[in-house]
Amino acid sequence: MSVTMPRLTRREFFRVGGVGVAGYHLLPMLAPRNVRAASKVEPRGGAEVTILLFLSGGASQTDTFDVKEGSWTPPDFDIRTVTPGLRLPVGLLPNLSRQTGKYCIVRSIEAWEIDHGRGSYYVQAGRLLSPARVKEIPSVGAVIAYETAGRRKESDYLPAFLAMNVVTSAGMQLVGPGVLPASCGPMALSSTDPPPFLVPEQERDRFRRRLEMLKDLDAGWRQEDSDRGRLFRELDGKYQGAYPLLGNPRVSEVFKIASDEHQRYGSSALGDACVLARNIVQENAGNRFILISHGGWDLHRNAYDKTAKVNQYTLCTELDSALGSLLEDLASRTDEHRRPLLDKALVVCMGEFGRTTGELSTQKGRDHYRHAASALFAGGGVKGGKVLGVTNETGAKIVDPGWSQKRSIYPEDVLLTIYSAMGVDWTKKVTQTLSGRPFEYIENISPIGYMRFSEVSELFA
């Protein structure tokens, strides 16, 4: 196959102009010949949106969801059996300890990588970081945006894929649309700032006036066949994408964080992101995948030191208030069909790898560890109140994977499970890519050779 092969054909953005019109510009169009399914599978379906809460840096499994006790354990972790078979550090995760019926903990996760950049890439892309392919491999969020494009309603105005608080300097890189249309890529926001598309009430008239002037003065450079080149059309396409958000009075509702909710969610950037995620799920306006990053879990030093700016306590408190409140609200709120939001929102909480176990290191911390890690799953059909997988007494070794495949659960299995829940056929592949190698949504190739990845169906049973 020649590398001069053109990129995937895609239709140009529809030009919709005007303010408040449906987000057709977000609807990706690919020539169908480029995407093929390899075999017949029946995705489970049921979930309409996925929230991936990513514990960036790699959370210690033995200090959170797979807690282990030893001489190193501070008493105020308050480790207790909260339901039969489930021990949790109630001192660190009081809210989540009360809601065990809503989620399933998986203790048999294994990572392939022990480097932050490559590990967090793996979770988003479901494969090894290959420099030769990095530009063409899309994020799981982009695949979902692409696959669910047909479900967009006329009134949808939110982008399908949102990313919040991904701080690139921490080694985590936000994976983009790859070979898929650019409109499937993430819209990256920070929950600590007002979103850039909130136009204050008192400025709306003026904003409209300015827009009209802009339209008038810049029409020539923005025309369909700009005689200055394609870049101008692309830039204009992004303006077309911004207009429905900027002119929309709903946006200020959705992106509002009331001070009592800010507090209830833990008064943190993560908490705010979770408030927004809840609002976005409730709004049901075209969003399908939210990636929220929670940084700081790379506790090599002084992990239990409460005087350290970031430590096991501060991180767990943030996580517990944010995720705990999110689960509460998703469970208690309903959509227009009186269906609890938690039924249609799949929530996955995990990091890029686990951490070393037992006594703390000489630096009083825990280092990167790939052979055991934990994750939390809730909503989207997941049956709560369960634990899958058992590790040995230090938490360093998985002794019972706890699922049909009788091996560790890898990031590929997690992504496949998300695809299945979202009703996406994971055997599909994009045959035409820049490198000539097809992009398979899930590739049955692991870093150690052939491996057949599978849905963790035990989560739903």
How far, rounded to the nearest angstrom, does the alpha carbon of residue 412 sit from its chain's CA centroid?
14
Nearer to another protein, 189 or 290 (CB): 189
Kindly state the smallest distance separating residue 28's Cβ from another protein, in Å: 14
Instruction: List CB contacts of 94: < 8 A, sequence separation 6 or more.
Output: 320
Calpha distance 200→311 (Å, rounded): 38
Q: Given the rule CB under 8 A, which residues bind another protein?
A: 1-4, 114-115, 117, 130-132, 159, 168-169, 171-173, 176, 182, 185, 187-190, 192-193, 195-199, 206-207, 209-211, 213-214, 216-218, 221-222, 225, 227-229, 231-232, 234-239, 241-242, 245-246, 300, 361, 363, 367-368, 435-437
Q: Is 174 helix (H, G, I), strand (E, B) or coil?
A: coil
Q: Which residue has the tokens 């829940």?
A: 421
How far, rounded to the nearest angstrom, does the alpha carbon of residue 422 sit from its chain's CA centroid?
13
Instruction: List CB contacts of 159: < 8 A, sequence separation 6 or more.
Output: 23, 26, 145, 183, 186, 187, 241, 286, 287
Kindly state the smallest distance separating residue 93's Cβ from another protein, in Å: 27
Nearer to another protein, 241 or 380 (CB): 241
Nearer to another protein, 10 or 300 (CB): 300
Kindly state the smallest distance separating residue 315's Cβ from another protein, in Å: 18
Nearest to 104 by CA among 394, 385, 426: 385
Nearer to another protein, 355 or 386 (CB): 355
Nearer to another protein, 81 or 130 (CB): 130
Kindly state the smallest distance separating residue 303's Cβ from another protein, in Å: 13
Nearest to 92 by CA among 321, 422, 272: 321
Nearer to another protein, 181 or 384 (CB): 181
Nearer to another protein, 133 or 344 (CB): 133
Distances (CA, A) of 76 to 271, 316, 338, 398: 23, 13, 41, 27
How far, rounded to the nearest angstrom, does the alpha carbon of residue 89 sit from its chain's CA centroid?
25
Distances (CA, A) of 44 to 40, 422, 461: 13, 7, 12
Nearest to 133 by CA among 167, 175, 178, 93: 178
Nearer to another protein, 301 or 383 (CB): 301
Cβ–Cβ < 8 Å for 198, 47: no
Kindly state the smallest distance separating residue 132's Cβ from another protein, in Å: 5
Structure token digits, residue 362 = 């000489």
Kindly state the smallest distance separating residue 225's Cβ from another protein, in Å: 8
Q: Is 320 helix (H, G, I), strand (E, B) or coil?
A: helix
Kindly state the smallest distance separating residue 452's Cβ from another protein, in Å: 21
Nearest to 171 by CA among 52, 293, 74: 293
Kindly state the smallest distance separating residue 120's Cβ from another protein, in Å: 9
Kindly state the smallest distance separating residue 181's Cβ from another protein, in Å: 12
Nearer to another protein, 185 or 324 (CB): 185
